[in-house]
Structure 1
């Protein structure tokens, strides 16, 4: 289960990096060039989106990397990553996989009782 948490965490972090990059870039674009009619509006909480765009993927990758040796800390980091992405970006077509993978990885890490067999 620890290996599954490791894999899910790293994949969630990489996908989260892509979502975070575009989310951060979107807020900068709208701030720089202004809103575009009914097509593009600035988000309500710019600091939340930018903070989650940076921190949530890092938490997922760090949690995944720690899953084999420190499963409780890894589970907490992965669940915090999933919660951060859900809070800042919402659940949608581009965020469903990193949120679900980080959440499942966090649960698997917390439920792991003994080291995986080699």
Structure 2
């Protein structure tokens, strides 16, 4: 499901719909049975997201071969994006994603 979610976001990005792509990529949606729960930071984002909801549902239903899928949008004002500004912040974020980065750094004695 996450793979198809990302592919749909990429398709929107390729078409120039950067705002919608960012709404899709704010966080990973959670799956509860056949319901996809996606958290957004405010009501305005929810309204923007819902304009593309049927296209996203069609894409997911077709590619996942499951026509029972529904999407529930939850507004969570505490959702925050983590942005990496310094080299150390960027390294720490990438290391969260792939812990093998630390091994690479030690093996080749790399500096930040």
* TM-score > 0.5, shorter chain as reference: no
Q: Structure 2-normalised TM-score?
A: 0.30
Structure ID, larger Rg: 2
Which is strand-richer, 1 or 2? 2
Q: Structure 1-normalised TM-score?
A: 0.29
Which is helix-richer, 1 or 2? 1
